Amino acid sequence: MAETMKTHGAGTLRAADVGTEVTLAGWVGRRRDHGGVVFVDLRDASGIVQVVLNPDDAPASEQELSSLRMEYCISISGLVHLRPDDMANPELPTGEVEVVANTMTVLSPSETLPFQIDDRIEVDEARRLQYRYLDLRRPSMTENLRARSKVIRAMRNVMDDLGFMEVETPTLIASTPEGARDMLVPSRLRKGNFYALPQSPQLFKQLLMIGGVERYYQVARCYRDEDLRADRQLEFTQLDFEGSFWGQEDVLATLEAISTRVTKDLRGIDVDQPFPRLTWHQAMERYGTDKPDIRFDMQITDLSDVFAETGFKAFSGVLASGGSIRGINAGALGLSRSGLDGLSARAQELGAKGLVWMVTEDDGGFRSPVAKFLSETELEEISTASAAEPGDVVLIVADETQTVLEVLGQIRLEVGQPDGHDELAYLFVVDFPVFERNEDGDFVALHHPFTAPVDVREMSEDPGHAISKAYDLVLNGSELGSGSVRIHDPAVQAKVFETLGISDEDAERRFGWFLEALRYGTPPHAGFAIGIDRLVAILQNAPNIREVIPFPKTQTGADPLTGSPSRVDDDQLRELGVEVRPAVMAEWAVDEAAGD
Ligand code: ASP
Report the separation in Å between the CA atom of 273 and the middle of ligand 1, taken as the mean of its atom positions: 23
Asked if the domains at 10-108 and 142-278+426-548 fall in one CATH topology, the answer is: no
Report the separation in Å between the CA atom of 203 and the middle of ligand 1, taken as the mean of its atom positions: 10
Spans of all domains in the chain: 10-108, 142-278+426-548, 297-415
Report domain 10-108's class.
mainly beta
Q: What residue owns the CA closest to ligand 1's atom 8?
A: 528
Secondary structure of the chain: what % helix, strand, coil (to 5)?
35, 25, 40
What superfamily does domain 142-278+426-548 belong to in CATH? Bira Bifunctional Protein; Domain 2 (3.30.930.10)
Which of 76, 107, 58, 69 minimizes the C-alpha distance to 10?
76
Report the separation in Å between the CA atom of 267 and the middle of ligand 1, taken as the mean of its atom positions: 26
Report the separation in Å between the CA atom of 169 and the middle of ligand 1, taken as the mean of its atom positions: 14
Expressed in angstroms, the distance from the first to the final Cα of the chain is: 47
Q: What residue ranges line ligand 1, CB within 6 angstroms?
A: 200, 202, 482-484, 527-529
Can you say how many angstroms the Cα of residue 339 is from the centroid of all Cα atoms in its chain?
31
- Atom number in ligand 1 closest to CA 202: 1
Give the mutation target among 215, 224, 429, 447 for probing the ligand 1 site: most ligand atoms within 8 A of CB.
447
Fold of 297-415: Gyrase A; domain 2 (3.30.1360)
Q: What residue owns the CA closest to ligand 1's atom 7?
A: 483
Report the separation in Å between the CA atom of 200 and the middle of ligand 1, taken as the mean of its atom positions: 6
Q: What residue owns the CA closest to ligand 1's atom 1?
A: 202
> What string of pLDDT tens digits covers the 596 residues of the chain?
678 899 999 999 999 999 999 999 999 999 998 888 999 999 999 999 999 999 888 788 888 888 899 999 999 999 999 998 889 999 999 999 999 999 999 999 999 999 998 888 888 999 999 999 999 999 999 999 999 999 999 999 999 999 999 999 999 999 877 778 999 999 999 999 999 999 999 999 999 999 999 999 999 999 999 887 778 999 999 999 999 999 999 999 999 999 999 999 999 999 999 999 999 999 999 999 999 999 999 999 999 999 999 999 999 999 999 999 999 999 998 899 999 999 999 999 999 999 999 999 998 889 999 999 999 999 999 999 999 999 999 999 999 999 999 999 999 999 999 999 999 999 999 999 999 988 888 889 999 999 999 999 988 888 999 999 999 999 999 999 999 999 999 999 989 998 888 888 988 888 899 999 999 999 999 999 999 999 999 999 999 999 999 999 998 899 999 999 999 999 999 999 999 988 888 877 766 666 55
Report the separation in Å between the CA atom of 529 and the middle of ligand 1, taken as the mean of its atom positions: 5
Other C-beta atoms lying within 10 Å of the C-beta of residue 532: 25
Q: What angle do CA 169, 220, 175 make, to 5 degrees?
A: 60
Radius of gyration of the chain (CA): 30
Which of 400, 372, 500 minimizes the C-alpha distance to 440?
500
Give the CB-side neighbour count of residue 277, counting CA atoms within 13 A: 15
Contacts of 362 (CB under 8 A, 6+ apart): 390
